[in-house]
Structure 1
Amino acid sequence: MDDFQTALADLQAQHLLRQRRIVDGPQGPLLQVDGKSYLAFCSNDYLGLANHPALLAAAQAGMQQFGMGAAASALISGHSAAHEMLEQELAAFVEMPRALYFSNGYMANLGVIAALTGPGDTVFGDRLNHASLIDGARLSRADFKVYPHGDTATLARLLAKCHSRRKLVVTDAVFSMDGDIAPLAALLDLCERHDAWLLVDDAHGFGVLGTQGRGSLRHFSLRSERLIYMGTLGKAAGVAGAFVAASDNLIAWLLQRARTYMFTTGNPALLATAASASLKLIAAEPWRRTRLQELGAYLHQALRGLPWPLAASITAIHPLLVGDNQTVQALAQLLRAQSVWVPAICPPTVPRGTARLRISLSALHTEAHIDQLAQALGAAATALTRTAP
């Protein structure tokens, strides 16, 4: 126990000790946190659907029809008509042959990688991939090769030297802490040339990118049997869960071998009915994606002149690159004192020396909200300058 106490004290000294905050009420640009109202730029509710009346009504209807809990794994009795319908709708939405609904994106990535690869195979991953892709590769017991962020030339060399029976390239589509987009067309071309699969984690692109929000594959107009697509339903879609879409045979294999699907209780059917309603809104209301683009451009203009750069992004994620842990934590605290909540992101979530404020936009934000953020950041920058040694 002393070891843990010492380790926690060390995290505290490095300004790396994480804390939870208690949110009271639904998601939105304004949040009640620990009994206080905040203007929030911290949520992944990019399209503003998490509290949409149509989703609430669909969940209530699903609860009335199917009850509260699924009560069993999908392979026993936990796969309802609502789940089946959602899988068919998801496959059609992302223009893939078949889809499989998972409890969440982390479990989906772990399940897919371990079901497709093992000892003697090789997984290749971008250095800035999400933890679920990294953990999935490690747990698979396949060889794991990491290439520098977005470096397709290095990946090409690694693939050319690889003689494994199975090769799997795994990448975020939109990188969750940077807001940039992977070179998916180049990655798919490499996979085609070197007989590899490409697993695309589109957690932050699904609903946001592509025509009708159909995701990063539609954004780049990509189609291939080598593609495996993972999308989440707890971010832009505003509900919960995740799905994997791929060829019929590959999904059939996951149904038999993805342990994180086989050995867990199914998500409540009411979540599936709500997700079905969300898909309809995502396709029918393009103004939400247009609004994100407008707000992103406005944000970059509003934050000009700060001592820290705002990374370029066409997604809903806009990191303000601060650098050291102590400064970014102090900056976040000064913002909270002004009733503005922007999360400070520190290592190991991001590389050392790249601590940042992760500004997440929602279609429900306004220019006035961004002006308030800019004013708060300006005041915080002045305060930090005065207290600097």
Structure 2
Amino acid sequence: MAFEFIEHALDARAQDALLRQRTCIEKATARHIQVDGLKYLNFASNDYLGLADLTVSATFCAGSKSSALVTGYHRTHRQLEARLCQLLGYERALLFASGFAANFSVLSALFNDSKVGQVSAVFQDKLNHASLIDGSLNSKAKLIRFNHNDMGHLRARLEKSNAENKLVVSEGIFSMDGDGAPLQALENLCQTHEAWLMVDDAHSFGVCGSNGLGSIESGVKPDILVITFGKAMGCQGAAVLASKRLIDYMLQFNREYTYSTAMSPALVEIASTQLSRLCDGEEARSRLHTNIELFKRIALDAGIPLQESTSAIQPIVLGSAENTLQAQQALAKNGIWLTAIRPPTVPYNTARLRVTLTAEHEKEDIEYLVRCLEDVL
């Protein structure tokens, strides 16, 4: 029977405890969430500073009306791009509707020419986000993976490659493990092997660094920096920052940017407001880091197995997808909302509970979470 593979695929996912389903959220803040009339403590939000809970008065157009290369590029777009460039030290920026779109389309566009692809290679950390991997797979360049944060393995890969154009891609903070990339070591290897460095700073921007500017505050300036607005900024969208020449190249060959309606001016204005709040968010960042330290200390005291993460992302790897789902359900019965992360989002046998902490959590929230985790695990 035609398309019978659909039923087989869904049945197989269900049998392996890997079937994905949406949950309709009635209300949500950085601290609480309401589902089916029940209120839970929310430990599954990327709104690290609680900025998404703040109201924004937007009087700008709901739609940009066309592609940025037709009539969709408005003054508000240019102003936000210029502000990001000044803040992060880049010549030019491009705005995208999402981080996935930015990562995928930049990698696809950079190596879209067959002749360029034949002499190009992209070196990706094995734990990089799906948007980065898919972008490489959609390009003409050779994709080469290196073990997570393993600079020896990356060095060997770079030395073995005879590619003329080499691009190393990593993340500032890895979304599923919560650890950071060794940025200085990455930059040193790139300089030695005449490679470019691209960093996806989705989970770093707004949180890491003394001013909350993310990986750029480590003293390393990637050739291509991607930041997203949907995490610590608490809104929607993304930006790619690079040299003027690279952005000019993207304007010629980035199909996502060329053939999509430009980001809504209203959303751009909201992002500008949230960027100001993020830059002034020293107190919220301090509360967040206090909460991270509190969680790690009392969780380790309780014997809960944590990963090597000092970020707001604190994964608890249980291995079995079925066991992870059962733990999630048991926590929900105690008023704790957590996400069970299962393959293929993470490698097989590494299913996990992904705890995300925010500045809005109270001390008693975290203490209660750890008690519940201790009981369930």
**TM-score, with structure 2 as normaliser:** 0.95
Whether the 8 Å CA contact 1:100–1:245 is kept in 2: the answer is yes
The whole-number CA distance in structure 2 between the counterparts of 1:105 and 1:138 is 17
Q: Does 1:222 align with 2:220?
A: yes
**Deviation digits for residues 178-211 of structure 1, max 9, x if unmatched?**
0000111111111111111111000100111113
Report SS of the residue matched to 2:346: coil
Q: Does 1:233 align with 2:229?
A: yes
The whole-number CA distance in structure 2 between the counterparts of 1:126 and 1:327 is 28
Match for residue 351 of structure 1 among 347, 352, 355: 347
Equivalent AA in structure 1 for residue 205 of structure 2: F
Describe how 1:190-201 pairs up with structure 2 within 5 A. 190-201=189-200
Whether the 8 Å CA contact 1:308–1:321 is kept in 2: the answer is no
How far the C-alpha of 1:27 sits from its partner, in A, is 3.1
Report SS of the residue matched to 1:50: helix
Equivalent AA in structure 1 for residue 178 of structure 2: G
- Cα separation, partners in 2 of 1:73 and 1:362, compared to 1, 3 Å: same
The whole-number CA distance in structure 1 between the counterparts of 2:141 and 2:36 is 44
The whole-number CA distance in structure 1 between the counterparts of 2:62 and 2:236 is 15
The ranges of structure 1 where at least 4 consecutive aligned residues each deviate by more than 4 angstroms after the TM superposition are: 305-308
The whole-number CA distance in structure 1 between the counterparts of 2:362 and 2:308 is 20
Other-structure match for 1:17: 19
The aligned length equals 370
Match for residue 87 of structure 1 among 81, 89, 96: 81
The whole-number CA distance in structure 1 between the counterparts of 2:150 and 2:198 is 17
Describe how 1:267-306 pairs up with structure 2 within 5 A. 267-304=263-300, 306=302
The whole-number CA distance in structure 2 between the counterparts of 1:278 and 1:206 is 12
The whole-number CA distance in structure 2 between the counterparts of 1:22 and 1:313 is 30
Unaligned stretches of 5+ residues in structure 2: none
Equivalent AA in structure 2 for residue 169 of structure 1: V
The whole-number CA distance in structure 1 between the counterparts of 2:285 and 2:91 is 26
Other-structure match for 1:264: 260
Whether the 8 Å CA contact 1:129–1:172 is kept in 2: the answer is yes
Equivalent AA in structure 2 for residue 9 of structure 1: D
Other-structure match for 1:247: 243
The whole-number CA distance in structure 2 between the counterparts of 1:193 and 1:111 is 27
Other-structure match for 1:39: 41
The whole-number CA distance in structure 2 between the counterparts of 1:25 and 1:337 is 18
Q: Does 1:69 align with 2:71?
A: no
Equivalent AA in structure 2 for residue 282 of structure 1: L
Match for residue 112 of structure 1 among 106, 114, 117: 106
**TM-score, with structure 1 as normaliser:** 0.92
Report SS of the residue matched to 2:178: coil
Unaligned stretches of 5+ residues in structure 1: 382-389
Other-structure match for 1:326: 322
Equivalent AA in structure 2 for residue 108 of structure 1: A
Other-structure match for 1:385: none
How far the C-alpha of 1:306 sits from its partner, in A, is 5.0
Equivalent AA in structure 2 for residue 129 of structure 1: N
The whole-number CA distance in structure 2 between the counterparts of 1:77 and 1:31 is 40
Whether the 8 Å CA contact 2:49–2:281 is kept in 1: the answer is no
Other-structure match for 1:337: 333
The whole-number CA distance in structure 2 between the counterparts of 1:102 and 1:301 is 38
Report SS of the residue matched to 1:200: strand
The whole-number CA distance in structure 1 between the counterparts of 2:28 and 2:39 is 12
Q: Does 1:153 align with 2:148?
A: no
The whole-number CA distance in structure 2 between the counterparts of 1:19 and 1:35 is 19
How far the C-alpha of 1:26 sits from its partner, in A, is 4.3
Whether the 8 Å CA contact 1:202–1:231 is kept in 2: the answer is yes
The whole-number CA distance in structure 1 between the counterparts of 2:180 and 2:297 is 21
Equivalent AA in structure 1 for residue 173 of structure 2: V
Describe how 1:343-382 pairs up with structure 2 within 5 A. 343-381=339-377
RMSD: 1.4
How far the C-alpha of 1:3 sits from its partner, in A, is 1.9
**Deviation digits for residues 41-74 of structure 1, max 9, x if unmatched?**
1011011001213xx12xx2xxx2x321112111
How far the C-alpha of 1:34 sits from its partner, in A, is 2.9
How far the C-alpha of 1:380 sits from its partner, in A, is 2.0
Equivalent AA in structure 2 for residue 112 of structure 1: V
Whether the 8 Å CA contact 2:63–2:265 is kept in 1: the answer is yes
Report SS of the residue matched to 2:354: strand
Report SS of the residue matched to 1:169: strand
Whether the 8 Å CA contact 1:113–1:136 is kept in 2: the answer is yes
Whether the 8 Å CA contact 1:172–1:201 is kept in 2: the answer is yes
Whether the 8 Å CA contact 1:21–1:34 is kept in 2: the answer is no
Equivalent AA in structure 2 for residue 373 of structure 1: L
Q: Does 1:314 align with 2:310?
A: yes
**Deviation digits for residues 78-97 of structure 1, max 9, x if unmatched?**
11111111101111122222
